Amino acid sequence: MQAIVETIFDAVYLISVIAIGILMIVKSKGNREYRLFGIMAVVLGAGDSFHLVPRAVALCTTGLENFTVPLGMGKFITSITMTIFYIILYYVWRIRYKVEGRKNITIAVYVLSLLRIILCLFPQNKWLSASAPISWGIYRNIPFVLLGLLIIVLFYKSAKEAGDTEFRYMWLTIVLSFGFYIPVVLWADAVPMIGMLMIPKTCAYVWTVLIGFQSMKKNLA
């Protein structure tokens, strides 16, 4: 039952997010914000597919324990693409709110992103092992969470100051995504059912993408 439900959910998610992203790129009419948002959605879906597709195959065949290597590699790739996702979202913020300068914020975004990627490259992560250490899962997610917090603050303050009703909940989608993701990092190995929180986490990212898509439909119709 889990295999069927999870596979259908993941398939709908990946197809929807990538399709919306491509549609936004094609229909952006030269608008930098929406074209970038579309690229961001494609990066999200394509990156997640490296982990979710092997997981679906594993669940529908011989089980997760027999797909340790492809699942680990997929998780590694997804960790990198999610970092890129937030870098792109940062530039969506800059374009939408016409932000000039603010070099300190840009430096912070890149430092945190680079630190996250470097930590992901350490062999101590044991991506391809069935016994990956929780400690390194925490280490590599510290700069990632800080990056997320920075993006949350930026969107919250800017949307509020600009009276931006279209993006007023963008900050909340990111809060929810991290809120569901952090328990998985900390406790999913000890309590497998906590891994189910990845479903609402995924829904939060879909909400993020839909905010941009609805905005484009409204303003470029």
Q: Cβ(91)–Cβ(36) under 8 Å?
A: yes
R_g of the chain, CA atoms, integer Å: 18
pLDDT score recorded for residue 116: 97
What pLDDT does residue 61 have? 87
Give the CB-side neighbour count of residue 216, counting CA atoms within 13 A.
Answer: 26
Domain boundaries, the chain: 2-219
Q: Which residues of the chain have pLDDT under 50?
A: none
Count the Cβ atoms, other than its own, within 10 Å of residue 45: 24
- With 0-12 CB in 10 A as exposed, 13-18 as middle and 19+ as buried, what is 4? exposed
The pLDDT of residue 96: 97
pLDDT of residue 5: 85
pLDDT recorded at residue 4: 86
Topology of the domain covering 2-219: Rhopdopsin 7-helix transmembrane proteins (1.20.1070)
Structure tokens at 104: 């300190």
Q: How many CB atoms lie within 10 A of CB 5?
A: 11
pLDDT recorded at residue 140: 95
Q: Is 213 helix (H, G, I), strand (E, B) or coil?
A: helix
Report the predicted TM-score, pTM, of the whole model to 2 decimal places. 0.94
| The two structure tokens encoding residue 143 | 């700069």
Q: What is the pLDDT of residue 187?
A: 80
Q: What is the DSSP string of 95-126?
A: HHTT----HHHHHHHHHHHHHHHHHHH-GGG-
- Find tokens 């998985």 and name the residue: 184
Residue 170's alpha-carbon distances to 105, 112, 192, in angstroms, are 19, 21, 29
